Structure 1
Amino acid sequence: MDSLDRILVYPLQQLPFFLITIVIAFTVHEFAHAYFANKFGDPTARLLGRMTLNPAVHFDLFGIILLLIAGFGWARPVPVNRDNFSRPRLMGVIVSAAGPISNLLLGILGALIYAALFATGVMESITNEQLLRAIYWFFGMFIPFNFFLFVFNLIPLPPLDGYRIVEDIAPGPIRGKLQQYEQWTVFIFLLIIFIPGLSAYTIRPLNTWSQQIATDFINLFLKLFGYGAL
């Protein structure tokens, strides 16, 4: 058990709550891409069975294992054929942004529910310490993780959604340059993620900002409910 705890990003007893978090966050993210692509005329994801909230079709096993042991991973990207859109660039931006925005909304919803549990007195009424700890652990992971995914996926480097948004917005000549160097910018992305000296200036600040955003939203909702800040 101790050796497994040293391998995993989260302690073993917290692992189920992290798994629930990534199941919800990744599934909704990929579903949002597929849903809007289909809505705008591209049935590719739907025909491949990807327009669903079934987590099994969205998960990449290696990506999930890496997430558990390294803190970085991925789901299976939803295939999108922009040629099927009547306005490829505009609709491409919306489809790309749908995933990160879905995580933003999940983070806000989580903060609202968490604040409501305090404002309504539910948390104070729970006498079971294990249940209380489970609630703290779940929301303590779910809220900032979704805000992290929102910010992280908007980074304009491939293969992230932010890059696809920039690619669709950019004028033709610039877009051509972006596509020309795309394979190399992927390496830049991997270096930023996996080299500790660089990730300390990229991923670590994103984690800090995500935690702060989560705290700010929780306190905002608590204030709206007339409850003091946590």
Structure 2
Amino acid sequence: MDDWNLIQKIAIYALPVLLAITVHEAAHGYAARHFGDRTAEMLGRLTLNPLKHIDPIGTVLIPAIALVLGGFLFGWAKPVPVETRNLRQPKRDMLWVAAAGPAANLLMAIGWVLMLKLAAGFEGSSYQAPLNFMAQAGIHINVILLVLNLLPLPPLDGGRILLSLLPNRAAHTLAQVEPYAMFILIGLMVTGLLAVIMQPLLRATFGMLAWLF
């Protein structure tokens, strides 16, 4: 795929990126509604329409820059609003609401693996290469989002899950980190520590998918 031009790469990556981010956010909204919070639904965010979830920077600019520079592709959408106090059991239910996004990415990664297998059946067809590359893109994007979002740093999903599991005092202490989370992530990226942290987790997840399929 290295010899493809930018327009071709964008065409291949556009659908997997939009699906990965949109379904991730919608999953949070559907889980929140299941546990009693209808905030996302009332604000029109309980939808698979990507236009409702797109963040100009996180969904468009950052993935485009990563694609051009050749770094690992990642991004984010507008977070789906969840009013914790509306949940029937806020601390317990927030764990499942937070976990819904990464779970959606795992299911999508599995779906793209199946698409990759389907592409193998088009050998010799002009459809094989685009399907193959799109499936690979879908697998990589969803696995990266899965691993990144499960890092135990609020407001990432892994941080939300950890807050639900910790005793109240420890959870309160960890919650104080949230306003600085973006600066921490940027610092980890600039120093290369984010890649060091994520690479073993990415390899393990890719390995699990390869073993399963």
TM-based fold match above 0.5: yes
SS at the partner of 1:73?
Answer: coil
* Match in the other structure for 1:227: none
TM-superposed deviation, 1:212 = 4.0
Deviation readout 1:119-171 (Å, 9 max, x if unpaired): xxx223x432xx22101110111112212211211101122100011111111
Q: Distance in 1 between matches of 2:45 and 2:165?
A: 26
Would the aligned equivalents of 2:116 and 2:136 in 1 still touch at CA under 8 Å? Answer: no
* Match in the other structure for 1:58: 53
* Match in the other structure for 1:152: 148
Would the aligned equivalents of 1:14 and 1:137 in 2 still touch at CA under 8 Å? Answer: no
* Match in the other structure for 1:21: 16
Q: Distance in 2 between matches of 1:168 and 1:148?
A: 23
* Match in the other structure for 1:123: 122
* Match in the other structure for 1:8: none
Q: Distance in 2 between matches of 1:175 and 1:204?
A: 27
**Displaced runs of 4 or more, over 3 A:** 202-214
1:26–1:209: structure 2 CA closer, same or farther, 3 Å change rule?
A: same
**1:101 has 2:124 as partner:** no
Q: How many residues align?
A: 202
Would the aligned equivalents of 1:103 and 1:149 in 2 still touch at CA under 8 Å? Answer: yes
Residue identity (%) = 38
RMSD: 2.1
* Match in the other structure for 1:74: 76
SS at the partner of 1:201?
Answer: helix
Q: Distance in 1 between matches of 2:181 and 2:50?
A: 29
Q: Distance in 2 between matches of 1:28 and 1:135?
A: 20
TM-superposed deviation, 1:199 = 3.6
* Match in the other structure for 1:83: 85
Paired AA for residue 87 in structure 2: F
TM-superposed deviation, 1:178 = 1.2
**1:198 has 2:198 as partner:** no
**1:136 has 2:132 as partner:** yes
Q: Distance in 2 between matches of 1:173 and 1:199?
A: 28
Q: Which of 29, 32, 37 is the matching residue for 1:42? A: 37
Would the aligned equivalents of 1:153 and 1:162 in 2 still touch at CA under 8 Å? Answer: yes
* Match in the other structure for 1:167: 163
Paired AA for residue 34 in structure 1: G
Gaps of 5+ in 2: 67-72
SS at the partner of 2:192?
Answer: helix
* Match in the other structure for 1:180: 176
TM-superposed deviation, 1:16 = 1.0
Q: Distance in 2 between matches of 1:108 and 1:36?
A: 20
What is the TM-score when the length of structure 2 is the normalising length? 0.85
Gaps of 5+ in 1: 6-10, 222-230
